[in-house]
Chain A
């Protein structure tokens, strides 16, 4: 039943795509059948190793770095009302800058290697995580804080057992936004001056008018997104099991 619920809509959409494009003469919209048939030739094991893997590694590096920076700064800022009041407008400003416009700038000082791409991903991902962490840390319940204080919970123990778990739901919400930003930036960063990666591959196909192959790249990207969000959901269930239970209990 559950499997059916998850797969019903995708199956319908694929079917619509299939029949709508069947026998299509349009050069840019080839039949889905053609696209699927070309996929095994394009996405060989070598290709996966040469293009998908580097993309994923850069994504992972950027996302992880953004998590570490975002949470660390978030804890520092969120716990200090004065600091927060000072930096919050600046953070909102920085967050409002669309990260892709930074790509040429980042290229100037970070070159065109993996470092640049990771930096681009970090520069976009860090904001939702940081702002949510600030908010989550700020909103730690007062009674809980006093309880912790009265039982001598200080320093690292306070951080690990009070602040981070209490801000956890907010941080995870930020991380979820950040993940989708990360995927977008992964692709964009590979469209500038790259020699490998999914984004690079798609652009290459586009420029050589290999349209069905280009479409397969886009589908691979989509599948990657589904896979990553699935993994994220697993991690979330592990980390925030208590929170979902609490919410259910409060709803009665």
Chain B
């Protein structure tokens, strides 16, 4: 279980303090798929980096299964938006996926197994020997996802992972993530600015305000578990939910502008 309690983050520098996150408290139960959605520039990435142990929060705590997160925890994998910059260009695809497993000191046989399984799971079974830059953007992000799941994390953090790929690839990757989530039972925290994506993917959507960020609403998504791009997005319930989220975010933007 991932627990975020009273999280605050204020950036200081040049004698100026910028409050990015004011006060965030939420939990992500084991096996949940929670989407964090908020207006652009609302501190989503900051929040995710605090959870991943890449940034030290100014206040509050993040705990993973009862252990406070002070640095990158072993049971967590992060998929970044910038796939082109998160894969090691000097390593072939298989080596990229294998690298974190070496750090975990897994035996060679097990590493090979995991690399094969995870690359097959993202549909890149025949890309082992390619360099990342020989692949298309969508394929590169698949490699990053394969690397994350090969790591066998308990929590998978995704920071707007599909923001930089084209719309069709994006739909494929969304389905890939839902499929992997259902199959592997991993806890997923998915950050996005795309409302449709959040509603389509999530079992639950946390709506964030503009910066300084607070949680506006914790919205369960009561769409059926089996979703597909064509039908789910056409259901009245989907439309209702996305309209609701959209209104919340619009309202959030306006409130913040009002009290400034």
Contact = CB atoms under 8 A, between A and B. Distances in A.
A, B co-complexed: yes
Interface of A: 141-144, 146-147, 149-153, 157, 161-162, 165-166, 168, 242-243, 245-246, 249-250
Interface string B47-90: 00100111000000000000000011010111010100110111
A143 B91 CA distance: 16
B52 A143 contact: no
Contact of B90 (A143, A150, A152, A243): A243
Contact of A151 (B49, B85, B103): B103
Which 6 pairs of residues, A with B, have the shortest CB-CB distance? A151-B100, A143-B85, A165-B90, A242-B90, A249-B133, A147-B86
A147 B53 CA distance: 12
Contacts of B89: 242-243, 246
30 contacts: A141-B85, A142-B85, A143-B85, A143-B86, A144-B85, A146-B54, A146-B80, A146-B86, A149-B72, A150-B52, A150-B54, A150-B76, A151-B72, A151-B100, A151-B103, A151-B147, A151-B151, A152-B72, A152-B100, A153-B100, A161-B88, A161-B91, A162-B88, A165-B88, A166-B90, A242-B90, A243-B90, A246-B131, A249-B133, A249-B134
A150 B131 contact: no
Nearest to B49: A146
Contacts of B133: 245-246, 249-250
Interface in B78-113: 78, 80, 82, 85-86, 88-91, 99-100, 102-104
Contacts of A243: 89-90
Contacts of B104: 152
Contact of A245 (B54, B77, B131, B147): B131
B105 to A, nearest CB: 10
Q: Is the interface of A mostly helix, strand, loop or mixed?
A: helix
Contacts of B147: 151
B208 to A, nearest CB: 21
A69 B52 CA distance: 36
A144 B99 CA distance: 13
Contacts of A161: 88, 91, 99
B54 A149 contact: yes
Contacts of A242: 89-91, 131
A171 to B, nearest CB: 13
Given A151-B103, A152-B103, A168 B90 contact: yes
A145 B10 CA distance: 22
Nearest to B92: A242
A161 B103 CA distance: 11
Nearest to A143: B85
A241 to B, nearest CB: 9
B131 A147 contact: no
A157 B85 contact: no
Interface in B147-169: 147, 151
Interface in B5-44: none
A153 B103 CA distance: 6
A162 B151 CA distance: 18
Given A143-B86, A144-B85, A246-B133, A150 B99 contact: no
Contacts of B85: 141-144
A250 B99 CA distance: 24
A245 to B, nearest CB: 6
B73 to A, nearest CB: 9
B54 A151 contact: no
A150 B103 contact: no
Contacts of A144: 85-86, 88
B80 A147 contact: yes
A143 B82 contact: yes
B134 A150 contact: no
B88 A152 contact: no
Contacts of B102: 157
A236 to B, nearest CB: 14
Contacts of B76: 150
Contacts of A249: 133-134
Given A143-B80, A165-B90, 16 more contacts: A143-B85, A143-B86, A146-B54, A147-B80, A147-B86, A149-B54, A153-B99, A161-B91, A162-B88, A165-B88, A242-B89, A242-B90, A242-B91, A242-B131, A245-B134, A249-B134
Contacts of A141: 85
B80 A151 contact: no
Nearest to B80: A143
A152 B131 CA distance: 22
Nearest to A164: B90
Given A141-B85, A161-B88, A165-B90, A147 B78 contact: yes
